[in-house]
């Protein structure tokens, strides 16, 4: 019988010889050009990393194709990044340009390093998720096509990290991204008593509602929803398929901006809601791509060098963000959930 | 899917410069009928503006309670190959380092047993094998296990830990993130494969405060590399940066969050006020040849990070300002075990660690887990005087 509990493969067996020889002995790095990093070790050895965009949802033949490239130019060594880019690794400077040419020939974009737009972290969406309010891969493709030029440059004011979650479970660091695209529902779940009766644990379901909008309905051996209390988070649907929350007429996406995870210059911060709703409009979601482009280009135009989206906004003030982007401010942008008080502006020192 | 089924909306997503996932689905569909059905199902979703997957049932492999996510379409008559279309998660190697041989091996095994579609990678960090039948789960796992691969976590367990590129390439790494990730994953295989907790638990390891794996946002326990002494400045290299045109005063000194840097434009010397430096990484990022991390390295432990559902997204907060982080990581393992015991004992169903601490209060958490309160845990102390006093602190 196959062994269990063996754990992941030993990463040490997968390290490029230059990495093995200089492990923990790196001195500095340089950004050679967009998509190409050069790390230099104490020994003087050099390691080139060529970063390449990927759709994340890939066939095994795609993987085999990039393996063929890694065999030819990188002695068979490569890695993936935390944002689903591919990094080809080589110690040989002369391999860099030929590899880039070969990647271009395959239609694979080189970039995403330094002050660039990098890959969009995203989830399964309609491809595989049971709780999506939108698709993931489709919007990512549409937005990356629209903002493509910014992947292959590294002269933006700062890094630009866009992330997408197909529902509020937000599988990925969507809640701390420069631009976050989040699938949202706008209507309360429809209770299917038959499904609830079949096997839903009612106390757990009732407890799962953050606003207490669900109560037992003994007459129907089921539950009932107080619609005014429901904020359509969908947690009840995760608990029971009988709480049917997908609503094709009303589901869509929200746009949040200004988050970051790094500690550099300013503490990590959340993305904040600026556009409460845009409709699902497959295959290209033009309302979404337009809204994201508008936000990105306003930032490009006005931010000072080194300012992430959120740092730019905090400096100019959120009021000026809404003015400059021409995004209408609605009461929906003002928090009314449990940590709301910390967001209210308790100072008269604002801008007009 | 039926031969005559067209996918005009998905076809449109093959156009444009960014590599197309639709192209990838079609490649897989040439060899595999389930991938073909998936194209049809996705097109249907694009027509209907809604998902077509049911809640997963419990499926798995012998000896494990997680690692497999059950998935069934709600349209099995139209897409028979998606009647059962489960995901298997393979635990990735630290830092997502691969040889082409290992990747090809993963592909070859998957080709035999599943749809041929993958995610490199899922958000937690695992390799996602997207779509296979229930009957294939055990044989697939058996073949991967024989080849040296294991499943990752899913459900109310320890999810697969992940880490940044660390000392394999990065000069900023303050501890061996790759080794720690590998060590911790192997140490806690039981917790990873057999869900037994109130809910999921994620550990992520970043080598420095740049936090390239977003540990602070995504992990119940974030390990962020740092140092205890002072940054090291090479004045020759500072001069070189100044001469290359970098505006050190504006781009580096002004942006220091604690005004700890002073630059003399005449002598082109940069000095740090050591006790004022908060180790945010900005100056090091700007001048990697001139400024290095300190020598007394270790990590900060933060707890509580999670996504929006249910009580809002949380960022992790500091619990241990500095811990040496060297193999076999005994101090860390001891702490994490105490934390798990306490959370398991006190957490409600589906209550994340951060939500539990928020509910019962930091005082209770620190006392019961056995951690000293330190000011680094808060941005600022409380603004209300509603303090709980313990019995032994009161005069009787």
Condensed to tens digits (0 to 9), the pLDDT of residues B232-270 reads 999 999 999 999 999 999 999 999 999 999 999 999 999
Q: For residue B195, is pLDDT > 70?
A: yes
Residue B56 lies in a domain: yes
The pLDDT value given to residue B3: 61
B77 & B169 share domain: no
pLDDT in tens, B112-123: 999 999 999 999
pLDDT in tens, B169-184: 999 999 999 999 999 9
Q: Is B285 helix (H, G, I), strand (E, B) or coil?
A: helix
The pLDDT value given to residue A172: 76
The pLDDT value given to residue B131: 97
Residue B23 lies in a domain: yes
Residue B364 lies in a domain: yes
Of chain B, the percentage scoring pLDDT greater than 90 comes to 97
- Are B24 and A26 within 8 A, CB to CB? no
The pLDDT value given to residue B1: 52
Residue B95 lies in a domain: yes
- Are B16 and A148 within 8 A, CB to CB? yes
B214 & B245 share domain: no
Contacts of B173 in chain A (CB under 8 A): 24
Residue B153 lies in a domain: no
Residue B152 lies in a domain: no
| CATH number, residue B270 | 3.30.70.20
Which residue pairs, CB below 8 angstroms and at least 24 apart, start in B7-13?
B7/B39, B7/B40, B7/B42, B7/B43, B8/B43, B9/A282, B9/A283, B9/B43, B9/B46, B9/B47, B10/A283, B10/B39, B10/B42, B10/B43, B10/B46, B12/A283, B12/A284, B13/A138, B13/A141, B13/A142, B13/A283, B13/A284
| CATH number, residue B62 | 3.30.70.2500
How many other β-carbons are positioned within 10 Å of the β-carbon of residue B89? 25
Query: Most A CBs within 10 Å: which of B49, B177, B260, as the mutation test of the A interface?
Result: B49
Ordered strands of the A46-52 beta sheet: A26-33, A36-41, A46-52, A86-90, A77-80, B97-99
**Closest-CA residue to B225 (of B290, B178, B286, B160):** B178
CB-based contacts of A212: which residues, under 8 Å, 6+ apart? Answer: A229
Cα angle A272, A248, A291 (rounded to 5 degrees) comes to 35
* Residue of A6, A23, A129 with shortest CB distance to B53: A129
* Residue of B46, B141, B186 with shortest CB distance to A2: B141
B209 & B310 share domain: yes
B72 & B179 share domain: no
B219 & B338 share domain: yes
B78 & B197 share domain: no
B63 & B170 share domain: no
Q: Are B29 and B40 in contact (CB under 8 A)?
A: no
| CATH number, residue B183 | 3.30.413.10
B238 & B321 share domain: no
- Are B52 and A131 within 8 A, CB to CB? no
Query: Most A CBs within 10 Å: which of B214, B304, B384, as the mutation test of the A interface?
Result: B214
- Provide the domain limits for residue B21: 8-146
- Are A49 and B169 within 8 A, CB to CB? yes
Number of domains into which chain B is organized:
3
Contacts of B170 in chain A (CB under 8 A): 26, 29, 39
B352 & B209 share domain: yes
Q: Are B79 and B43 in contact (CB under 8 A)?
A: no
pTM over 0.95: yes
B288 & B300 share domain: no
Query: Most B CBs within 10 Å: which of A150, A209, A250, A263, as the mutation test of the B interface?
Result: A263
* Residue of B51, B63, B309 with shortest CB distance to A233: B309
* Residue of B13, B111, B122 with shortest CB distance to A141: B13
Residue B376 lies in a domain: no
Rg (CA), chain B: 25
Contacts of A289 in chain B (CB under 8 A): none
Low-confidence ranges of chain A (pLDDT < 50): none
Contacts of A62 in chain B (CB under 8 A): 24, 27
Residue B345 lies in a domain: yes
Q: For residue B2, is pLDDT > 60?
A: no
For A175, phi then psi, to 5°, come to -75, 0
Domain termination residue (choose one: B266, B292, B318): B292
Query: Most B CBs within 10 Å: which of A1, A3, A7, A21, as the mutation test of the B interface?
Result: A7
B44 & B134 share domain: yes
B77 & B120 share domain: yes
Domain termination residue (choose one: B258, B292, B326): B292
pLDDT in tens, B32-85: 999 999 999 999 999 999 999 998 788 999 999 999 999 999 999 999 999 999
For B54, phi then psi, to 5°, come to -85, 165
- Are B20 and A144 within 8 A, CB to CB? no
Domain termination residue (choose one: B292, B326, B342): B292
């Amino acid at each position: 019988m196959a062994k269990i509990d063996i754990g992941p493969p030993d990463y040490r067996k997968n390290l490029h010889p230059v990495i093995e020889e200089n492990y923990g002995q790196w001195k500095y790095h340089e950004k050679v050009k967009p998509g190409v990093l050069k790390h230099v070790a104490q020994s003087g050895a050099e390691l080139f990393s060529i970063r390449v965009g990927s759709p994340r949802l890939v066939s095994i033949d795609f993987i085999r194709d990039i393996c063929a490239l890694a065999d030819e130019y990188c002695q068979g060594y490569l890695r993936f990044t935390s944002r689903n880019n591919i990094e080809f690794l080589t110690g040989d400077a002369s391999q860099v340009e030929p590899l880039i040419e070969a990647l271009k020939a395959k239609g694979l974009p080189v970039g995403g390093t330094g002050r660039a737009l990098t890959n969009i972290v995203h989830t399964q969406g309609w491809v595989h998720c049971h709780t999506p309010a939108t698709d993931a891969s489709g919007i990512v493709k549409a937005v990356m096509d629209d903002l493509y030029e910014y992947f292959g440059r590294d002269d933006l004011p700062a890094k630009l990290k866009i992330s997408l979650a197909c529902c509020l479970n937000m599988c990925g660091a969507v809640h701390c991204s420069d631009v976050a695209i989040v699938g949202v529902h706008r209507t309360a779940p429809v209770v299917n008593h038959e499904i609830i009766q079949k096997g839903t644990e009612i106390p757990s379901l009732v407890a799962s509602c953050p606003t207490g909008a669900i109560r037992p309905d003994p007459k129907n051996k089921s539950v009932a929803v107080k619609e005014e209390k429901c904020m359509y988070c969908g947690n009840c649907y995760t608990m029971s398929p009988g709480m049917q929350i997908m609503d094709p007429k009303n589901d869509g996406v929200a746009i949040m901006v200004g988050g970051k995870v790094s500690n550099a210059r300013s503490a990590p911060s959340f993305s904040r809601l600026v556009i409460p709703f845009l409709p699902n409009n497959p295959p290209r979601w033009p309302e979404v791509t337009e809204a994201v482009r508008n936000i990105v280009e306003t930032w490009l135009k006005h931010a000072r060098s080194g300012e992430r989206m959120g740092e730019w906004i905090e400096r100019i003030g959120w009021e000026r963000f809404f003015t400059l982007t021409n995004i209408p401010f609605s009461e929906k942008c003002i928090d009314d959930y449990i940590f709301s008080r910390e967001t209210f502006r308790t100072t008269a020192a604002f801008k007009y | 899917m039926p031969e005559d089924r067209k996918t005009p909306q998905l076809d449109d997503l093959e156009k444009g410069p960014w590599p197309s996932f639709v192209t990838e689905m079609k490649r897989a569909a040439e060899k595999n009928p389930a991938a073909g059905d998936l194209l049809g199902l996705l097109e249907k979703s694009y027509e209907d503006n809604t998902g077509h997957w049911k809640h997963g049932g419990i499926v798995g492999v012998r000896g494990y309670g997680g690692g497999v996510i059950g998935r069934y379409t709600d349209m099995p008559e139209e897409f028979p190959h998606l009647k059962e279309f489960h995901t298997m998660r393979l635990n990735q190697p630290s830092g997502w380092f691969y040889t082409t041989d290992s990747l090809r091996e993963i592909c070859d095994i998957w080709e035999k047993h599943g749809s041929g579609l993958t995610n490199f990678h899922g958000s937690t960090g695992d390799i996602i094998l997207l779509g296979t039948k229930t009957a294939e789960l055990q044989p697939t796992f058996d073949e991967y296990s024989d080849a040296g691969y294991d499943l990752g976590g899913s459900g109310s367990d320890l999810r697969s830990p992940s880490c940044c590129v660390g000392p394999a390439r990065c000069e900023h790494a303050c501890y061996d993130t790759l080794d720690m990730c590998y060590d911790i994953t192997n140490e806690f295989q039981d917790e990873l494969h057999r869900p037994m907790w109130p809910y999921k638990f994620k550990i992520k390891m970043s080598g420095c405060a740049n936090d390239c794996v977003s540990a602070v946002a995504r992990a119940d326990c974030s390990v962020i590399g740092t140092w205890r002494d002072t940054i090291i400045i090479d004045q020759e290299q500072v001069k070189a940066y100044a001469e290359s045109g970098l505006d050190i005063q504006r781009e580096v000194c002004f942006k220091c969050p604690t005004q700890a840097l002073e630059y003399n434009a005449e002598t082109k010397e940069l000095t740090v006020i050591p006790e004022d430096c908060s180790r945010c990484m900005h100056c090091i990022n700007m001048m990697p040849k001139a400024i290095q991390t300190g020598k007394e390295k270790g990590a900060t432990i933060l707890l509580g990070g999670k996504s929006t559902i249910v009580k809002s997204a949380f960022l992790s907060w500091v619990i241990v300002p500095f811990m040496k982080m060297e193999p076999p990581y005994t101090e860390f393992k001891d702490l994490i075990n105490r934390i798990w015991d306490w959370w398991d004992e006190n957490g409600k169903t589906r209550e994340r660690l951060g939500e539990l601490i928020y509910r019962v209060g930091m005082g209770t958490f620190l006392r019961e887990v056995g951690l000293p309160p330190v000011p680094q845990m808060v941005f600022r102390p409380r603004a209300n005087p509603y303090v709980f006093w313990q019995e032994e602190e009161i005069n009787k």
